[in-house]
Amino acid sequence: MPYAHITGWGMSVPEPVLTNDDLAKIVDTNDAWIRERTGIRERRIARATDFPSTLGTSAALKALSVANLKPTDLDLIICSTSTPEHLFPATACLIQDQLGATKAGAFDLLAACTGFIYAINMAAQSIRSGAIKNALVIGTETLSRFVNWEDRNTCILFGDGAGAFVLQASEKPGGILSAVMHSDGSGGDLLTLPAGGSRHPATEATIREGQHYIYMDGREVFRFATKVMVQSTEEALKAAGLTKDDLKVIIPHQANFRIIDAAARGLKLPIDRFVINVERYGNTSTASIPIATVEAVEKGRLQAGDKVVFVGFGAGLTWGALVAEWMGPLPSPRKVNMGRYRLWGRVRSILHRIERFLEGLIWGRRA
């Protein structure tokens, strides 16, 4: 049975920075309150030209470049997002098109902020089963488009961004060692985007009542998060046959510094064992774990052979953890020119659209 290794990683965040002081000009809040209760100092906000697919594609190209893998080598693309561009088509398909990943199946996975952990696990299972060799997992969000900028309880928390991992089959032991996934739909109403789906389709009333914005019971989510972070980390470690002392770092979902601090105390681990960057990006939901991972690798906090836990929680309710032995890129004789593939993805997409148009002219379009 092959092992599933993380061989590439990349991130992409929009340029505009929104500081706590900027927020204080919009809602009744202040920098001191936000920093003390959440640890957040600033977050990135998508420009009009940034979308989950564009941020996700950018992160994916960087991850492919690290893995030295062509988009056309991909067998599977899983896009984990809570802010898809449409109900359908899947954002994963938009990314597949922008990459020119012509041989890959593509689908979205929605498990809110735990989504990236679920998605890595799904990709790793597909690799270990022998069904596929190369997978791309993306976490990408533009939460700023679903935030009520008049609600100080939520608008201070969230930010936009994307991160991506490449997973590949290898005979070398290591890679994803264990994963646990949990859910409890009885808490679904604690963190929800009530309208815009098939239960409450968009109407004038739903829009007037602000039901297209994120609703959250912050205190309940806080209580839930501190409990499950510890539980699922311990469960995943046990499944991998490891203890917390084997870990180089823990990379948690970046929702709130106080939640991570409580988890550190619950696990009786020093806080410096945790990778934390919530102060600069806020809560980027499914993108937070891969973004924190990329920064940890760049700072040398995660190197080949290190054991790491990824742990997350979110709406659903969902939670989960994953243990991995970090490896890095597989040896490869060639160097892929990713700039060429960025351009090729666009050209291929235009050519396909022209081809479809011409076929329509030849065979006749239905009225």
- Verify cis geometry, omega within 30 degrees of 0, for the bond prior to 14: no
User: Mapping DSSP to helix (H, G, I), strand (E, B) and coil, where does residue 341 land?
Assistant: helix
In the bound state with ligand ACO, the residue whose beta carbon lies nearer, of 96 and 256, is 256
To ligand ACO, the closest distance from the beta carbon of 14 in angstroms equals 18
Ranges within 95-114 binding ligand ACO (CB under 6 A)? 112-113
Q: Assess 285 for contact with ligand ACO (CB under 6 A).
A: yes
DSSP string, 71-130: GGG-SEEEEE-SS-SSSSS-HHHHHHHHHT-TT-EEEEE--GGGHHHHHHHHHHHHHHTT
Task: Name the active-site residue from 113, 121, 134, 256.
Answer: 113
What are the backbone dihedrals phi and psi of residue 102, each rounded to the nearest 5 degrees, phi first? -70, -15
Q: Assess 164 for contact with ligand ACO (CB under 6 A).
A: no
In the bound state with ligand ACO, the residue whose beta carbon lies nearer, of 113 and 122, is 113
In the bound state with ligand ACO, the residue whose beta carbon lies nearer, of 184 and 298, is 184
Spatial contact of 95 and 53, defined as CB atoms under 8 Å apart: yes
Among 38, 83, 121, 142, indicate the residue that binds ligand ACO (CB under 6 A).
38
In the bound state with ligand ACO, the residue whose beta carbon lies nearer, of 34 and 137, is 34
To ligand ACO, the closest distance from the beta carbon of 33 in angstroms equals 4
E strand spans, the chain: 3-12, 17-19, 42-44, 76-80, 105-109, 134-142, 160-170, 175-183, 191-192, 215-216, 249-252, 307-314, 318-325
Among 64, 67, 77, 156, indicate the residue that binds ligand ACO (CB under 6 A).
156
In the bound state with ligand ACO, the residue whose beta carbon lies nearer, of 4 and 291, is 291
Spatial contact of 286 and 81, defined as CB atoms under 8 Å apart: yes
**How do 160-170 and 134-142 pair as beta strands?**
antiparallel
DSSP secondary structure code for residue 61 in this structure? H
To ligand ACO, the closest distance from the beta carbon of 209 in angstroms equals 20
Name the token pair of 182: 């949990």
Stretch that binds ligand ACO, among 29-37, 58-66, 91-99, 320-328 (CB under 6 A): 29-37
In the bound state with ligand ACO, the residue whose beta carbon lies nearer, of 33 and 107, is 33
Q: Assess 260 for contact with ligand ACO (CB under 6 A).
A: no
For the four alpha carbons of 118, 66, 250 and 284, in that order, the dihedral sign comes to negative
Q: Assess 33 for contact with ligand ACO (CB under 6 A).
A: yes
Residue nearest to ligand ACO (CB): 218
Q: Assess 74 for contact with ligand ACO (CB under 6 A).
A: no
List of residues 6+ apart from 69 with CB closer than 8 A: 7, 8, 134, 166, 168, 336
In the bound state with ligand ACO, the residue whose beta carbon lies nearer, of 40 and 338, is 40
- Decide if 283 is catalytic: yes
Q: Assess 273 for contact with ligand ACO (CB under 6 A).
A: no
Q: Using CB atoms within 10 A of its CB, is residue 37 exposed (0-12), middle (13-18) or buried (19+)?
A: middle
- Decide if 200 is catalytic: no
Q: Assess 215 for contact with ligand ACO (CB under 6 A).
A: no
Amino acid at site 337: N
Q: Assess 20 for contact with ligand ACO (CB under 6 A).
A: no
User: d(Cα 91, Cα 79) in Å, to the nearest integer?
Assistant: 7
To ligand ACO, the closest distance from the beta carbon of 256 in angstroms equals 4
The residues carrying an active-site annotation are: 113, 253, 283
Which residues would be at the binding site for ligand ACO (CB under 6 A)? 29, 33-34, 37-38, 112-113, 152-153, 156-157, 191, 216, 218-219, 221-222, 225, 255-256, 259, 283, 285, 314-315
